[in-house]
Amino acid sequence: MAQYRVVEEKPVVRRGAFAGASRRDCRGSAPVTRTLLEQALAAMQAAPGDEAARLAFFATLADSEVMLLLTGEAEGDRIEPELIEADGARFVLIFGSEERLTEFTGAPAHYATLSGRALAGMLGGEGLGLALNPGTEAGAVLLGPDELGWLAETLAPAPDESRALPRSLHAPDLPQEVVAAVDARLAKAAGLARAAWLAGVTWADDSAGHLLAITGAPKAAQPALARAISEAVLFSGRDLRVDVGFFAPDDPVIARLERVALRFDLPEPETPAASVRPAPGSDPEKPPILR
């Protein structure tokens, strides 16, 4: 069984400007559909002190695409976020959709589009916080520098690479919410693998845990899959060990897993869309530089 170390993600950024409607116009129009991020925020705010809801919000933030408000047009790969001050700290302003950003600005604005994961990696340790959907009807929240730093640190570690032999395999014994989280991550991995099996395992050194065995994953995709499953378990809030292994379809371990494991069949990839010229700044090999 092998686990693979993940290379740090490089932000993919798109930039643009749009003609924003006035706040009055926005609020007088049809309600904007809530994004998954806004739904997760509402669930967290409705259950103060609920650790599961808090972790679910941060997991959704990491996976979501957000709009970062800029002070002006980007210069090459350099971007300068708009900042506000509150509670003795400085915050960048992010929004879950262009509609929310428009609702706040009420005027043309420059912004960068990137994932919450990439944003945390860029800003973690910079002494900045995040203001999500400020001044909108979607519900807003301030995430302080400590919370943003925690998210960046949580997302940064790569799964350790190791090789071990399973001595025995048995049916999995994981909470349903963890199984659901693993299932959701695998559902997003269309085209990266063929199938996966989840089982309880005892290793040759007598340590125990769970094994997610994946087949059909090219070597280049294995680090990202390992990290995705690692994050699913981490954000469940459970102190669990789930190792991710990559196997050939005819490996003898797969036959053993078929008898006891829970199987997941990954979706087929969608037909590629027509090639589109990338927006300026969207080259992942050239991440933006904050000013």
Domain that holds residue 130: 14-157
Verify that 105 and 187 share a domain, yes or no. no
CA-to-CA distance for 43 and 23, rounded, in angstroms? 25
Verify that 73 and 203 share a domain, yes or no. no
- Average pLDDT, stretch 133-145? 90
Verify that 67 and 113 share a domain, yes or no. yes
Domain boundary among 157, 181, 203: 157
CA-to-CA distance for 72 and 82, rounded, in angstroms? 9
Q: Is the pLDDT of residue 15 over 80?
A: no
Verify that 134 and 112 share a domain, yes or no. yes
Task: Tell me the pLDDT tens digit for each residue of 55-69.
Answer: 999 999 999 999 999
Local structure of 222: helix, strand or coil: helix
Verify that 235 and 183 share a domain, yes or no. yes
Verify that 151 and 19 share a domain, yes or no. yes
Residue 52: inside a domain: yes
| pLDDT the model gives residue 249 | 93
| pLDDT the model gives residue 268 | 82
| pLDDT the model gives residue 144 | 93
Instruction: State the alpha helices, DSSP H only, in the chain.
Output: 23-28, 36-46, 51-63, 98-105, 116-123, 145-155, 176-187, 222-234, 252-260
Task: Tell me the pLDDT tens digit for each residue of 187-229.
Answer: 988 889 999 999 999 998 889 999 999 999 999 999 889 988 9
Q: Is the pLDDT of residue 287 over 60?
A: no
Residue 287: inside a domain: no
CB 143 within 8 A of CB 132: yes
Which CATH number characterizes residue 198's domain?
Answer: 3.30.70
| pLDDT the model gives residue 134 | 93
Verify that 114 and 191 share a domain, yes or no. no
Verify that 115 and 185 share a domain, yes or no. no
Domain boundary among 110, 133, 157: 157
The total number of structural domains that make up the chain: 2
Q: For the chain, what percent of residues have pLDDT higher than 90?
A: 54
CB 100 within 8 A of CB 139: no
Verify that 48 and 182 share a domain, yes or no. no
Residues forming a β-bridge with 50: none
Residue 255: inside a domain: yes
CB 232 within 8 A of CB 185: yes
CA-to-CA distance for 23 and 234, rounded, in angstroms? 39
> What letter would DSSP give residue 13?
-
Domain boundary among 127, 157, 187: 157
| pLDDT the model gives residue 21 | 42
Residue 90: inside a domain: yes
Verify that 124 and 102 share a domain, yes or no. yes
Q: State the maximum Cα–Cα separation within the chain, in Å, rounded to a whole number.
A: 66
Verify that 27 and 135 share a domain, yes or no. yes
Residue 186: inside a domain: yes
CB neighbourhood size of 211 (10 A) = 24
* CA nearest to 246, candidates 226, 267, 266: 226
* Mode of pairing for the β-strands spanning 262-265 and 109-115: unpaired
Verify that 35 and 131 share a domain, yes or no. yes
| pLDDT the model gives residue 284 | 44
CA-to-CA distance for 107 and 21, rounded, in angstroms? 6
Residue 291: inside a domain: no
- Average pLDDT, stretch 38-53? 92
Cα 197 versus chain centre, distance: 23
